[in-house]
Structure 1
Amino acid sequence: MHVFLETGRLVLRAFTEAESDVEHVYALDNDPEVMRYLNGGRPTPLEAIRTRTLPAFLHDYPGLGTRGFWAAEEKTNGTFLGWFELRPLDEHSAAVVELGYRLNKAAWGKGYATEGSRALIDKAFTDLGVEHITANTMTVNAGSRRVMEKAGLTYLRTYTSTWSERVEGCEHGEVEYVLTQSDWENGRKQ
């Protein structure tokens, strides 16, 4: 198991082609509450997990020198909690990365998303050469917005996207939060 990062309570490790990783992601992506702000809670076919999702999770980004997605496990017992993303927008450059996370309901409200996000942000700015982090969610996704703010990102804008299928709340648009390396450094000095 390739461990990318550890926090006080989390292990972020590389995904594998193991059936257990397929099953974990399939269960996560088939929970209507988890997927509410992503696809309206519609189920994701197992074949899509195998042919689209997992290959994306296994992809190495040359500009970053590592993958962009990691399985999140509880440190003490190895329970799969979900995943985190720190993926470059340009595959060949670490300058701008997108922060993301998807955790199962049992992990909600326990600070895991903030803890993992903060650790990834620290690693991005200290070890990976990242200059700018962006994160996006639906305007109505108050929980995710709170995590972004607690992790140190600030609101940049509200915008609208074209959704292939309507998701409840999409009429309010999406929001982008950002954090630059200089703002992160200034925050650490305070």
Structure 2
Amino acid sequence: MDAYLDTERLTLRHFTADDVDLLIELDSDPAVMRFLTGGEPTPPEHYRERGLNNILRGYQLWDGRFGLFAAHAKDSGAFVGWFILSPEDEDSPLDEVELGYRLRQAEWGKGYATEGSRALLAKAFTDLGVNMVWAATMSTNEGSRNVLEKAGLTVTATLETPPDMLKVEGAELGGFRYEITREQWEQH
């Protein structure tokens, strides 16, 4: 497994064309999808027909530096979930990127989200020339909010819920945008 990034307990790597079932399995868990779709699974065709190709295209677009990364536990090799460190789209500046993660329910509460997020922040600010990292989460997603705060990000704005997410429980409460700059990270 070619590592993009190693942490104490995780290996993050680029997804490959053989990983479609990992993405389908992750997004089929209603608990994992609770704050994204109200628990509805992502249709398998999404990843088979375009989703995985878009992930792979991102590596080419950004020379493998940014994108969605498969996370595996070092001790067992088990798929834990994924992390993202990426510009918002192909026209966005490379010095402001999004941080995110989606973990298998069996891996929740083990500190993996915080560990992976902190490692990606370090990589962003020391190796990739990033000046600011942002993340967004629903106001009711306390687990995600705690992870972002442990990683050093702070709330910078409230967000309205996108129309396609209004069926999610608590969506009417909106969300938060979190940010951390390189300077803040260096002082953290």
Scaled by the length of structure 2, the TM-score of the pair is 0.93
Give the structure 2 partner of residue 53 of structure 1.
Answer: 51
Give the structure 2 partner of residue 139 of structure 1.
Answer: 139
Structure 2 vs 1, CA of residues 125 and 179 (structure 1 numbering), >3 Å: closer, same or farther? Answer: same
40, 43, 53: which one aligns with 2:41: 43
Q: How does 1:69-88 map to 2 (within 5 A)?
A: 69-88=68-87
Query: Is residue 64–residue 128 contact of structure 1 (8 Å, CA) maintained in 2?
Result: no
What is the aligned residue count? 185
Query: Is residue 61–residue 67 contact of structure 1 (8 Å, CA) maintained in 2?
Result: no
Query: Is residue 118–residue 151 contact of structure 1 (8 Å, CA) maintained in 2?
Result: yes
CA displacement at 1:167 relative to structure 2: 1.1
CA displacement at 1:153 relative to structure 2: 0.4
Q: Does 1:125 align with 2:125?
A: yes
SS of alignment partner, residue 137 of structure 1 = strand
CA displacement at 1:155 relative to structure 2: 1.1
SS of alignment partner, residue 164 of structure 1 = helix
* Residues 60-69 or 130-139, more deviating: 60-69
Structure 2 vs 1, CA of residues 56 and 84 (structure 1 numbering), >3 Å: closer, same or farther? Answer: same
Query: Is residue 61–residue 68 contact of structure 1 (8 Å, CA) maintained in 2?
Result: no
Counterpart code for 1:38 = L
For 1:91 and 1:128, the matched residues in 2 are separated by: 16
Give the structure 1 partner of residue 24 of structure 2.
Answer: 26
The root-mean-square deviation of aligned C-alpha atoms, in Å, is 1.5
CA displacement at 1:55 relative to structure 2: 1.8
Query: Is residue 160–residue 174 contact of structure 2 (8 Å, CA) maintained in 1?
Result: yes
Counterpart code for 2:46 = A
CA displacement at 1:67 relative to structure 2: 3.5
Unmatched 5+ stretches in structure 1: none
Q: Deviations over 1:94-136 (max 9, x none)?
A: 2100000000011100000000000000000000000000000
For 2:83 and 2:62, the matched residues in 1 are separated by: 18
Counterpart code for 1:86 = L
For 1:94 and 1:61, the matched residues in 2 are separated by: 14
For 1:152 and 1:67, the matched residues in 2 are separated by: 20
Give the structure 1 partner of residue 112 of structure 2.
Answer: 112
For 1:95 and 1:71, the matched residues in 2 are separated by: 22
Q: Deviations over 1:25-48 (max 9, x none)?
A: 101101000000001111221111
SS of alignment partner, residue 145 of structure 2 = helix
Counterpart code for 1:134 = W
For 2:101 and 2:42, the matched residues in 1 are separated by: 17
Unmatched 5+ stretches in structure 2: none
Scaled by the length of structure 1, the TM-score of the pair is 0.92
Query: Is residue 61–residue 91 contact of structure 1 (8 Å, CA) maintained in 2?
Result: no
Structure 2 vs 1, CA of residues 138 and 73 (structure 1 numbering), >3 Å: closer, same or farther? Answer: same
SS of alignment partner, residue 163 of structure 2 = coil
Give the structure 1 partner of residue 157 of structure 2.
Answer: 157
Give the structure 2 partner of residue 184 of structure 1.
Answer: 185
Percent pairwise identity = 52
Counterpart code for 2:87 = P
Query: Is residue 10–residue 116 contact of structure 1 (8 Å, CA) maintained in 2?
Result: yes
Give the structure 2 partner of residue 17 of structure 1.
Answer: 17
